Structure 1
Amino acid sequence: MSDAIIRTENLTKEYGRGATLTRALRGVDLEIPRGSFTCIVGPSGHGKSTLMHLIGALDRPSGGSVHIDGQEIAGLGEKALAALRAEKIGFVFQFFNLLQNLTARENIETALMLAGVGEARQRQRADELLALVQLAEKADAKPGQLSGGQQQRVAIARALANDPPVLLMDEPTGNLDSSAEAEVMAVLEELNRQGKTVILVTHSGEIAARANHLVRVRDGLLEGP
């Protein structure tokens, strides 16, 4: 048996009905290996983001199944689903979504508080995470004082608050210049070397070429290699 941290079987997602019915995914069988650096690629509007939302338990499928770290999620209630997301998956999106009035450290401390980390441990853990993404010296800077690449690295540190095994990212370098993109990719590759499963939705062929596992989506289906 393969050691897939995320697995789907005959996964479908439909929106609307009748004349407005859209089949965003049309029977996707997918395995994402534990510890892989996976890129999900494909043209706009062909199902990449839908697939990301389903494997991240942010949405429910119309049919088929999703297994996250061995657990089938279809029967989970909203509370249990939220707990599973918090434990297993750290999310990073194209827009950093940092709280502008808080420092880098405070942004991470807020996530740690929501994750149930005790107050005495929050600052220490936040500083550890900032060091992990090579931003220890920016702990007291607010987002407006950081470059785009630095803000995204703070967002990655925040996503690591619960030490999830999976980082799931939607175009995390889409708003960055080439220098900032290189900063973020270096952090992600190091996290992957340390054992994190990194799953990245991207339009960039250059980024996709750095993956060791590639998923191609077209017309709601997976394409072969």
Structure 2
Amino acid sequence: MNDAIITASALVKEYGRGAARVEALRGIDLQIPRGSFTCIVGPSGHGKSTLMHLLGGLDHPTGGTVTVDGEEIFRFGNRRLAALRARKIGFVFQFFNLLQSLSAAENVEAALMLAGAPEARQKERAAELLATVGLAEKAGARPGQLSGGQQQRVAIARALANDPPLLLMDEPTGNLDSAAEAEVMEVLEGLNRQGKTIILVTHSAEIAARATHLVRVRDGRIEDPPPLQMAS
């Protein structure tokens, strides 16, 4: 049985027109297995982040389809697409995008508030998620009082607010030193063991070596070997 959580078919993304037209993606066919830890790797400017944004419905393709958990997402209007992202996908980026005036707990609670969770549940769930990422004791700290690795772990807790089955991450350790990177990777591998599907864009060979599956992108195409080769 095919148990892909994401399937992309003939995915094309172009920017500009005429002589200024740029083909960022050139007919991507891809399946992401449910429960996998997939790294998207390749040179800068060859389409990795563009691919991730399309897989998560953050941008629209020029052509092709993306199916997330059985739903072809680009058939949806903007409101329904946003609702699907809120239910099924958590996003984490290189820059933490935390609200500096709020504590770690309040940053997580804000995501729960936007999802319509009752106030009492917001506080309870935020405490649970900060404990999951190893920051229970930092709940009251503001971002400026946290290290880079700790801030990224708060961002991961925020992405988990609605318990999505899928986490999409664009260079989440790109601004971190090796010790902070190790902290974040330990959290991500723990989440993957619990059943979360993780898709992570990275330039790091060390991180890619820890993935269960690799997708190599070059010149807007999936590069051989096959995109779902098991990492050694």
Give TM-score scaled by structure 2 length: 0.96
Question: 1:7: which partner in 2?
Answer: 7
Match of 2:134 in 1: 134
Looking at structure 1, the residues matched to 92 and 208 of structure 2 have their Cα atoms a distance apart, in angstroms, of 17
- Name the residue aligned to 2:21: 21
How many Å separate the matches in 2 of 1:42 and 1:55?
17
Aligned letter for 1:54?
A: L
User: Which residue is equivalent to 2:185?
Assistant: 185
Shift of 1:153: 0.2
Residue in structure 1 matched with residue 77 of structure 2 by the alignment: 77
Cα distance between partner residues in 1 of 2:216 and 2:115: 33
Task: Using the TM superposition, give the Cα deviation of residue 51 of structure 1 relative to its aligned residue in structure 2, in angstroms.
Answer: 0.2
Indicate the percent of aligned positions where both proteins have the same amino acid: 77
What residue in structure 2 maps to residue 62 of structure 1? 62
Q: For each residue in 1:67-98, what CA deviation from the matched residue of structure 2 results, as whole angstroms up to 9, or x when unmatched?
A: 00110012100000000111110000000000
Consecutive unaligned residues in structure 1, runs of 5 or more: none
- 1:105 corresponds in structure 2 to 105
Match of residue 196 from structure 1: 196
| Counterpart contact for 2:130–2:154, Cα < 8 Å | yes
Q: Secondary structure at the match of 2:109?
A: helix
In structure 2, how many angstroms separate the alpha carbons of the residues matched to 1:75 and 1:33?
Answer: 22
- In structure 2, the gaps of 5 or more residues are 226-232
| Deviation, structure 1 residue 178 | 0.3
What is the alpha-carbon distance in structure 2 between the residues aligned to residue 164 and residue 41 of structure 1?
23
Q: Deviations over 1:177-209 (max 9, x none)?
A: 000000000000000000000110000000000
Q: Residues of 1 paired with 2:107 and 2:51: CA distance?
A: 28
**How far apart in 2 are the matches of 1:81 and 1:200?**
21
- 1:93 corresponds to which residue? 93
- Cα deviation code 1:49-76 (max 9, x no counterpart): 1101100000111001000011001210
Letter in 1 for 2:208: A
CA contact under 8 A between 2:89 and 2:165: conserved in structure 1?
yes
- TM-score of the two chains, using structure 1 as the length reference: 0.99
